[in-house]
A and B are shown apart, each in its own frame.
Chain A
């Protein structure tokens, strides 16, 4: 059974066009093989990756690129672990050297239990990265005014959190996500907080262009099955959004005719 989606239903970010509106992370999996299987089941075309030191004491350790292959997926390198703009530039330059990737995910987290991003440093890092020639998708809070600032500063995409990273609490801020979608002229993606399929559908129903998730899949009891669920959830939400939902009513409106009763 194939999923019926019009060939024209693609989305574009920084001049790059994709069919899948589901971006998946590569963290927290049992192993890289499961990771690769989940990314396939999700129908993802883009995966986020981190940049870290090679383990020199064990060069035979499995490498991500041997399972989640860079000729099969677009890698979206992130700045996880970077708390300053300078760290972000340094890290992403290495990612660009390692694989030619210039479309990147900027995340400058706060050192807190909630891990919400430090927007002041994020804005600063965004400027530095754009000057260095990167196309930057920015992980941000749901501050509608800040989202406009990021876009005006040249962000290729705005990626507000629905809830804290890895919390699975779902869309906690529907009003703000909708407002960000309404004002943005670049893609908007919910990134962080999605927990189950209905959360992803909800994000798409609010008008998001795509959804980014990691723990929702990797942390499920059956990650491959959840990856599949998420693929369908994003498709369902996108179709529902484009279909234009029925209005909500305060009272009933019968579906069967009143005339012709026996």
Chain B
């Protein structure tokens, strides 16, 4: 990877993370912002960051850092 990406005026720097198994560049600085950036309803998903559950109550306080491995899951049909 090259050095820090350029900061576009008025926006936060992008971080490179692993999101649901895929590399992705995101602007969000917190888990809450990430869920919003992805247009997801925080009440309907669960978040794991670097193999640790991030409770909903801590979404706003938990940072998204360069290199984080994040899993966003939901309930789907199953037997």
- In the complex the two chains form, is A48's CB within 8 Å of B78's CB? yes
On B, residues with C-beta under 8 Å from A are: 19-22, 38-40, 44-48, 51, 53, 55-56, 71-79
- Looking at the assembled complex, report how far the CB atom of B46 sits from the nearest CB atom of chain A, in whole angstroms: 4
Beta-carbon contacts under 8 Å, A47-88 to B = 48-54, 56, 59-60, 63-65, 70, 75, 77-78, 80
- Number of A residues with CB within 8 Å of any CB on chain B: 36
Chain A residues near B21 (CB-CB < 8 A): 53
The 8 closest A-B pairs by CB, nearest first: A50-B78, A214-B79, A25-B79, A98-B46, A26-B77, A59-B39, A97-B46, A94-B46
Chain B residues near A49 (CB-CB < 8 A): 75-78
Partner of B74, one of A60, A64, A165: A64
- Looking at the assembled complex, report how far the CB atom of B59 sits from the nearest CB atom of chain A, in whole angstroms: 11
Given A26-B77, A50-B78, A80-B79, do A94 and B40 touch, yes or no (CB 8 Å)? no
Pairs across A and B, CB under 8 Å, 13 listed: A50-B75, A53-B72, A54-B38, A56-B38, A63-B44, A63-B75, A64-B77, A65-B75, A77-B75, A80-B79, A94-B71, A97-B47, A98-B74
Task: Say yes or no: is A32 at the interface (Cβ < 8 Å to chain B).
Answer: yes
- In the complex the two chains form, is A48's CB within 8 Å of B73's CB? no
- In the complex the two chains form, is A27's CB within 8 Å of B77's CB? yes
Beta-carbon contacts under 8 Å, A129-178 to B = 165-166
Partner of B78, one of A54, A60, A80: A80
> Besides the contacts A52-B74, A54-B72, what 18 more A-B pairs have beta carbons closer than 8 Å?
A26-B77, A27-B78, A32-B77, A35-B77, A49-B78, A50-B76, A51-B76, A54-B40, A56-B20, A59-B39, A59-B40, A78-B78, A94-B46, A97-B55, A98-B73, A166-B79, A214-B79, A215-B79
Chain B residues near A94 (CB-CB < 8 A): 46, 48, 53, 71, 73
Residue of A at shortest CB range from B75?
A49
Give the interface centre of B44, B56, B74 by most chain A CB atoms within 10 Å: B74
| Secondary structure of the A contact surface, majority rule | mixed
Partner of A93, one of B53, B74, B77: B53
Q: How far is the CA of A254 from the CA of B6 in the complex (A)?
A: 94
- In the complex the two chains form, is A52's CB within 8 Å of B79's CB? no
Chain B residues near A165 (CB-CB < 8 A): 79
Chain A residues near B47 (CB-CB < 8 A): 97
Residue of A at shortest CB range from B76?
A52
Task: Say yes or no: is A230 at the interface (Cβ < 8 Å to chain B).
Answer: no
Q: How far is the CA of A80 from the CA of B38 in the complex (A)?
A: 26
Q: How far is the CA of A52 from the CA of B45 in the complex (A)?
A: 10
Chain B residues near A99 (CB-CB < 8 A): 75
Chain B residues near A200 (CB-CB < 8 A): none
Give the interface centre of A35, A56, A70 by most chain B CB atoms within 10 Å: A56
Task: Say yes or no: is A124 at the interface (Cβ < 8 Å to chain B).
Answer: no
- In the complex the two chains form, is B77's CB within 8 Å of A25's CB? yes
Chain A residues near B44 (CB-CB < 8 A): 63, 65, 98
Q: How far is the CA of A230 from the CA of B26 in the complex (A)?
A: 48
Chain A residues near B74 (CB-CB < 8 A): 51-54, 63-65, 98
Q: How far is the CA of A80 from the CA of B76 in the complex (A)?
A: 11
Q: How far is the CA of A53 from the CA of B20 in the complex (A)?
A: 7
